Chains A and B, each alone.
Chain A
């Protein structure tokens, strides 16, 4: 396929999924807004107003970046895993597999759609946050970089999950038993500096901690971890996932017989 045709194919994959997520906004975007409102209300306003400041800012200001990132992670992941699994389940993935599109265009299309959903959700949740507190912007480029890279990473994670998934349970297990604990223990609601040294070290093994912190740094200018190390972790995991997915795709694992 020449470049022009490849771009058209890529656009088609992205467009198809974006149209789907917009059509199903009650299932895709609305739950994140409701969840965010509840978190801001309960943790930010009711409980947070009784807590001392963290890193020199009020508790609700401290948790805004983490709550945004939490929804971004969940949405980027579930968009790709659900879209790919449904395409496998209904066998309409074969429409793409029989076409001359290179594998990386299919992967890129799904991941881009995951980024779109992550970004729209992030902006909506941030908008909800503005009703509860004011938001400071320390570095917009850092916010954007953390935002996009996190979406890419979890979209790839969702793709990988869907490749192996054989039932609807398989795509709900990871968000429930892996992603939710990782985000809750990834410094969304606290600073790891509040922990004893041992638990601080243990927390560093959680990749979500780096994403939440680098994102928070973009807003508040403070972080529990070195932000360049955080970007290194993000880029390293993205590279690893990408190589793994391409390798599995070319062997047809989970997608071909």
Chain B
């Protein structure tokens, strides 16, 4: 509940299996980012409960947060900091020794094609590079859960495809992924489970394949529009 009485999430109940690639879809203002922000500790919820791998975000928020990496919708790093420093400092906040962090940062930045820019200030990066930097930062502490809030917004097709490949790889290695996106084709391609949220309520929550089959194999975009209009 926000100030002014706006109820952003209305009794939403969601359960995501470990190892899943989960799509959280909804129109703008549906409550996706609020839900993610509650899990990440950026928004203080007024009621309800949430657990990450069985750990309550209320009673043991420190442990719960240690499981999670967040790639937010908007760029939220210090643009005057160097790329490597942003990633290494993030590791420090999770208690990872600097020597280990420097080594791990090199590996993740190389994997995401940012190593050549490691000594550059973040403001010098292109939009796509900034997105990848946020992914590198979120993964530096090897989280079991990665939450991506519109990670491919404004990214060109080639880069989007390479990000899909990367996300599929880390999911195959065991990382649970929650993805919010407005590119429904992206969700259809990547995710095994889908939930649709509209005006703070979960209107659908089921395996992607079942949802598509149930709707006579229509595109996810058509199904999404039907669900939103019904509401």
Report which A residues bind B (CB closer than 8 A).
1-2, 4-6, 8-9, 11-13, 15-16, 86-87, 90-92, 94-102, 251-252, 256-257
- Asked whether A5 lies within 8 Å of B94 as measured between CB atoms, the reply is yes
A87→B74 CA distance, assembly (Å): 14
Q: Is B42 an interface residue (CB 8 A)?
A: yes
Q: Top 6 nearest A-B pairs by Cβ distance?
A: A5-B95, A12-B92, A99-B93, A91-B76, A100-B62, A252-B44
Contact segment of B10-18, B64-72, B162-170: B64-72
A160→B139 CA distance, assembly (Å): 32
Given A96-B93, A99-B90, A257-B37, check contact A90 B76 (CB 8 Å).
yes
Q: Give chain A residues whose Cβ lies under 8 Å from the Cβ of B97.
A: 8
- Asked whether A98 lies within 8 Å of B42 as measured between CB atoms, the reply is yes
Q: How large is the interface on B (under 10, 10 to 19, 20 to 34, 35 or more residues)?
A: 20 to 34
Q: Give chain B residues whose Cβ lies under 8 Å from the Cβ of A15.
A: 92
In the complex, what's the smallest C-beta–C-beta distance from A207 to chain B, in angstroms?
A: 32
Q: Is B207 an interface residue (CB 8 A)?
A: no
Q: Is B102 an interface residue (CB 8 A)?
A: no
Q: Is B171 an interface residue (CB 8 A)?
A: no
- Asked whether B62 lies within 8 Å of A95 as measured between CB atoms, the reply is no
A252→B75 CA distance, assembly (Å): 21
Chain B 7-44 residues near chain A, CB threshold 8 A: 37, 40-44
A105→B15 CA distance, assembly (Å): 32
Q: Quick one: which of A100, A101, A257 contacts B42, CB cutoff 8 A?
A: A257
Q: Is B137 an interface residue (CB 8 A)?
A: yes
In the complex, what's the smallest C-beta–C-beta distance from B166 to chain A, in angstroms?
A: 21
What are 24 A-B contacts defined by CB distance under 8 Å?
A: A5-B95, A8-B97, A9-B94, A12-B92, A12-B93, A86-B78, A90-B78, A91-B72, A91-B75, A91-B76, A92-B81, A95-B76, A95-B89, A95-B137, A96-B93, A97-B42, A98-B40, A98-B65, A98-B68, A99-B90, A100-B62, A101-B62, A256-B41, A257-B43
Q: Give chain A residues whose Cβ lies under 8 Å from the Cβ of B63.
A: 100
A203→B141 CA distance, assembly (Å): 53
- Asked whether B95 lies within 8 Å of A98 as measured between CB atoms, the reply is no
Q: Quick one: which of A1, A9, A13, A98 contacts B41, CB cutoff 8 A?
A: A98
A61→B226 CA distance, assembly (Å): 81
Q: Is B115 an interface residue (CB 8 A)?
A: no
A230→B75 CA distance, assembly (Å): 46
- Asked whether B43 lies within 8 Å of A100 as measured between CB atoms, the reply is no
Q: Give chain B residues whose Cβ lies under 8 Å from the Cβ of A6.
A: 95
Chain B 125-182 residues near chain A, CB threshold 8 A: 137
A8→B77 CA distance, assembly (Å): 20
- Asked whether B90 lies within 8 Å of A251 as measured between CB atoms, the reply is no
**Which one of A98, A102, A256 has the greatest number of beta carbons of chain B within 10 Å?**
A98
A251→B78 CA distance, assembly (Å): 25
Q: Give chain A residues whose Cβ lies under 8 Å from the Cβ of B96.
A: 5, 8
